[in-house]
Amino acid sequence: MALTDATYPTDVSMNTDLYELTMAQGYWECGHLNEQACFTAFFRDAPFEGGYAVMCGTAEIAELIENLRFTEQDIAYLAELEAPAGGKLFKPGFLEYLRDFRPHVDIDAIAEGELVFPREPMVRVIGPMLDCQLVETALLNIVGFQTLVATKTARVVQAAKGRPVAEFGLRRAQGPDGGVAVARASYVAGAASTSNILAGRRYGIPVSGTHAHSWVMSFENELEAFRAFAKSSPRNCTLLVDTFDVRAGIENAIIVAREMEAAGERLAGIRIDSGDLAKLSAYARRRFDEEGLDYVKVVVSNDLDEHTITSLFNQGAPVDAFGVGTKLATCYDQPALGAVYKLAARRDSVDEPWTPVMKLSEQPYKRTIPGIQNVRRYMDASGSPVCDMVYDEAYLQGEGAQRGQTLVSVNDAALVTDVSGFESRELLVPVTRDGKSVAPREDIEDARARCAAALASLDGAYKRFLYPQTYVVGMEQGLASMRDDLVRERMAAASNVLPWKTK
């Protein structure tokens, strides 16, 4: 349990893209403050050429919304911004509106640790158009990055086959905030510990770390350095043996291990951070076993990821734990999830019915899904997920609920799935109502347990690193038909205004 499970948000309202504020001013100027919107956040492709993603960041959404305020300093800064063509960028009346602004949005999101797949709504935001617009950037930043990190970590943990994975990428992460987010998301997805003390304090994540090469280099010789560290930290003694020569380092570690035994202590392990990790870990294991020190763990690091860890095991490397830094913290080799936030429905006021809307694009792949979307997961008899259905809540009411038994693949209309024989559950859960949190902030251990259970239930075909099977995400048949109708209507309307049509 965290001592204080909080993110300490600062400058939330200003942590946004300029166009969110210029659009907000436009809505204010046009008198569209009562116009209602429904936005969804989603991604188009599973990251790392994999078959799934791990939802993360949900727990921080409510805090983001509740802290979205414009201070006097914010207003003063915005008042000084110049428009490119001259004059002030923002009007005094709009800035006065921002002074008392509070977001009044209803947010539903997939819970942390759940698996998410391309095209389905990770987060749904409903409320005044202006309010929905102002939360976009920060929401995508939180959910997109943490979901990416959690997914990378899940893959690394899978490759580690039950051996602990320590996250220590802070010094290589994209800034201090990025480092904290990495530690948090990686723990949700199964990392055993982090080197990040700040993240450990905030979230109650176990912290780990012993010494660096500089410790060894600061002494006259390696054996003296090892003895000094063992004396200083006998209950946290893992020795880094590759500062000079790994084999010599292992022999010095054996000497220190014997001395620690005589003093009633035990050497926890050794870490190898360079060289042929497969050969050197095998050598270390053999030497410690020959000396009756089979309890000494062999830890390896050095630019590891799921692929290098898999390779080590394929070579028979007897590794007990992994330290993963750079490639986890930077989400190598996909630095962004590519999450997007798209308008799916609008209405002039809360008393009006919703009008579904969609983005067409000249690239059919980028066409969005319209409507007040929710997502339902279907499972087989063993509880393993088989497909997800995106449906329009406005359509699946009354008799419509009985009609929604067929889903049409988002990217392939020929792929139709009958889900009538499967158990199902809803994935979106309430996060805020009218801009206020509707539930206590979830403990990170709950999210971690949910992630472990979700990954355990997913068929291995979706989890393999090479050519994973594509998980089916489809639209409920009525929603698919509505989308097709909207495409035809919008394309016909667009063709009527093209220049060559009027000649």
pLDDT in tens, the chain (503 residues): 444 444 445 578 999 999 999 999 999 999 999 999 999 999 999 999 999 999 999 999 999 999 999 999 999 999 999 999 999 999 999 999 999 999 999 999 999 999 999 999 999 999 999 999 999 999 999 999 999 999 999 999 999 999 999 999 999 999 999 999 999 999 999 999 999 999 999 999 999 999 999 999 999 999 999 999 999 999 999 999 999 999 999 999 999 999 999 999 999 999 999 999 999 999 999 999 999 999 999 999 999 999 999 999 999 999 999 999 999 999 999 999 999 999 999 999 999 999 999 998 777 778 999 999 999 999 999 999 999 999 998 776 544 445 578 999 987 888 899 999 999 999 999 999 999 999 888 999 999 999 999 999 999 999 999 999 999 999 999 999 999 999 888 888 777 766 655 54
At 270 the three-state DSSP class reads strand
Structure tokens at 183: 């530690």
Task: Return the domain boundaries, the chain.
Answer: 209-300
Ramachandran angles phi, psi of 349, nearest 5°: -160, 170
Give the per-residue pLDDT at 394. 78
Q: Residue 306 in contact with residue 155, Cβ under 8 Å? A: yes
At 220 the three-state DSSP class reads coil
User: Checking DSSP bridges between strand 36-42 and strand 165-167, what pairing results, if any?
Assistant: unpaired
Q: Residue 269 in contact with residue 235, Cβ under 8 Å? A: no
Measured CA to CA, the distance from residue 319 to residue 328 in angstroms comes to: 19
Q: Can you give the three-state secondary structure of 159-188, one letter per residue?
A: HHCCCCEEECCHHHCCHHHHHHHHHHHHHH
Report the candidate in 377, 310, 331, 304 with the shortest Cα–Cα distance to residue 47.
Answer: 331
165-193 core/surface letters (b: 16 or more CB in 10 A; e: else) = bbbbbbebbeeeebbbbbbbbbbbbbbbb
The alpha-helical segments, DSSP class H, found in 37-85 are: 61-66, 72-80
Of the candidate CATH numbers 3.20.20.70, 3.40.50.11540, 3.40.50.300, 3.20.20.30, the domain formed by 209-300 belongs to 3.20.20.70
Identify the helix (H) or strand (E) that includes residue 44.
Answer: none
Reply yes or no: is the peptide bond before residue 303 cis, omega within 30 of 0.
no
Which residues face 425 on adjacent strands?
377
Q: Residue 428 in contact with residue 382, Cβ under 8 Å? A: no
Q: How far is CA 252 from the centre of its chain?
A: 42
Measured CA to CA, the distance from residue 392 to residue 404 in angstroms comes to: 10
Q: Residue 243 in contact with residue 222, Cβ under 8 Å? A: yes
DSSP notation for 468-482: PPPPEEEEEHHHHHH
Ramachandran angles phi, psi of 339, nearest 5°: -65, 145
Give the per-residue pLDDT at 5. 45
Q: In the β-sheet with 269-272, what is the strand arrangement from edge to edge?
A: 193-194, 165-167, 321-324, 297-300, 269-272, 238-240
Measured CA to CA, the distance from residue 45 to residue 340 in angstroms comes to: 11
- Measured in residues, the chain has a length of 503
Measured CA to CA, the distance from residue 215 to residue 223 in angstroms comes to: 12
Reply yes or no: is the peptide bond before residue 294 cis, omega within 30 of 0.
no
CA terminus-to-terminus distance, the chain: 71
Report the candidate in 304, 292, 300 with the shortest Cα–Cα distance to residue 266.
Answer: 292
Ramachandran angles phi, psi of 218, nearest 5°: -85, -5
Give the CA count within 13 Å in the CB-facing half-sphere of 276. Answer: 8
Measured CA to CA, the distance from residue 50 to residue 52 in angstroms comes to: 6
* pTM of the predicted protein model: 0.94
Structure tokens at 465: 């690193």
Q: Residue 371 in contact with residue 395, Cβ under 8 Å? A: yes
Ramachandran angles phi, psi of 360, nearest 5°: -85, -65
